Structures are given as structure tokens and as C-alpha cells.
Amino acid sequence: MSHFLGDTATLTRRSLSHIARSMDTIITTTIMPIAFMLLFVYVFGGAINSGSDNYVQYLLPGILLITIASGISYTAFRLFQDMQSGIFERFQSMPITRSSVLWAHVLTSLVANLVSVVVVVLVALLMGFRTGASPLAWLAVLGILLLFTLALTWIAVLPGLTAKSIDGASAFSYPLIFLPFISSAFVPTASMPGPVRAFADNQPVTSIVNAVRHLFEQQPVGTDIWVALGWCVGILVVAYAFAMRVYRRKIS
């Protein structure tokens, strides 16, 4: 375990140094979510009946999930580049824990996405977002978002290991980015046609968005938070198992 932690820390610093030298990665991942937020609040917001006087209050949780879904595409991109450059073969010839290579990319994704989320929240505050949420509620929101990021990052590991091109490595994130549009992120699901509403009510984004929104609004979260945690943990376990299996095949 001590070797694993030390190796992972060293490789994570390596990945973070790459991001620090290329801040356009974080800027790129925040531009689209911020553009969505500006568009929906200032262009479409007046025509959307969300039940909230300030639409940015309703919108922000969904935008945060889009930010994360946008950011994890770069995990697949960076992993693909490492696979193609032969750095994995070099690491295998060194006395390091093999799984630490993947965990370094995963932890880098957590840090990079956390920075992107903070930037989006700051922009939302400038647009009028306000919350009386307690520090405990903020910690709960942070925990949900980190768990969601971790789950999606392990999904991103799969195309990063198996893609045949750079475009293929990052294109998997497009469905994840647009999944919040068929959820309660932008409008209440009650306004949707029956089949669409059934899908929206029973997909993971809706429960996660509702849980975060209720925490911000200081309302009882009910079962939403447990459903959200169940989805995140379930996705994480399955994605991790498949990613490690593919990784072992690649390095065997």
C-alpha cells in the first residue's frame, strides 16, 4: 500500500504539471457550461417556467454536471496520448505499482474538474445565484459531485485505453454532456411528454440534480440523495471493474 500511494502521488504530480502547463484545458471545459448558463438564463430563462424566481438558482446543479461531463473527456484524451506515446511500456519496466498509472489520471481528473466547478460556481454567483446552504450542505454537494466525477472518470478510462484515434477517445463524452437535457436540470420533468418523462425520472442525472438543488435550497432531500448515491456508486463499481480488466489485458 505504501508503494502504491507513493507511486500514485508521484504520477499524479506528473499529470497535474501537464495541466498546469496547459491551462487551456480547464478553460475549454468551462467555456461550454458557462455559455449554456448564460444562454438559458438570459435568453431562454424568461420563457421557462421552472417554479423559481431566479432561473440560475434552478439551473446551476445541472450546469455543474455538464461541466464535469465535459471535463472528463480530457481524461480519456490524456490517457490515450500516454498509451500512444509508449509511456505505459516505460512505466512497466520500472518498479512501480501498475494500477497507480490509472489512478494518477483519475485523481488528476478530480482536481481539474473541481477547479472547473469552482469557476462555474463563481460565474453563477456573478449572475445572481444565492444560497443559504450550511457548510454541511456544501460538503454534501461537494461529496456528490466528487463521487459523480469519480464514476464518470472511470468510464472515461475505457475509451482512453481502447480508442483507435484521439477523436474516438473524447467523443464518448458527448452523450454524457447532453444527458442532463433530458432530466430535471433545465425544466421540471412534469412538463415533459409521458415517455420522455419516464426516462427523465429514472435516469441518474435527475436524482443527482434534485439532491444538489434541494441542498442548495435548504429543503429536505428525501430519497433523491440515496438514489443519487446509489447511481454514482453503481456506475463507479461497474466502470472500475471493466477499466481494470481492460487495463490488465493491455499491459499483459
> How far apart are the C-alpha atoms of 198 and 212, rounded to whole Å?
21
pLDDT of residue 66: 93
Res. 227 pLDDT band, cuts 50 70 90: very high
Structure confidence at residue 152 as a pLDDT band (50, 70, 90): very high
Q: What is the pLDDT of residue 104?
A: 83
Please answer whether residues 64 and 117 qualify as being in contact, where contact means their C-beta atoms are separated by less than 8 angstroms: yes
First-to-last CA distance in the chain? 22
Categorize the per-residue pLDDT at 123 as very low, low, confident or very high, splitting at 50, 70 and 90. very high
Average pLDDT of the residues of the chain = 84
The model's confidence at residue 90, banded by pLDDT at 50, 70 and 90, is low
Residue 148 — very low, low, confident or very high, per pLDDT cuts 50/70/90? Answer: very high
Residue type, 65: L
Kindly report the pTM of this predicted structure. Answer: 0.88
Q: Give pLDDT tens digits for 32-67.
A: 889 989 988 888 776 776 666 688 999 999 999 999
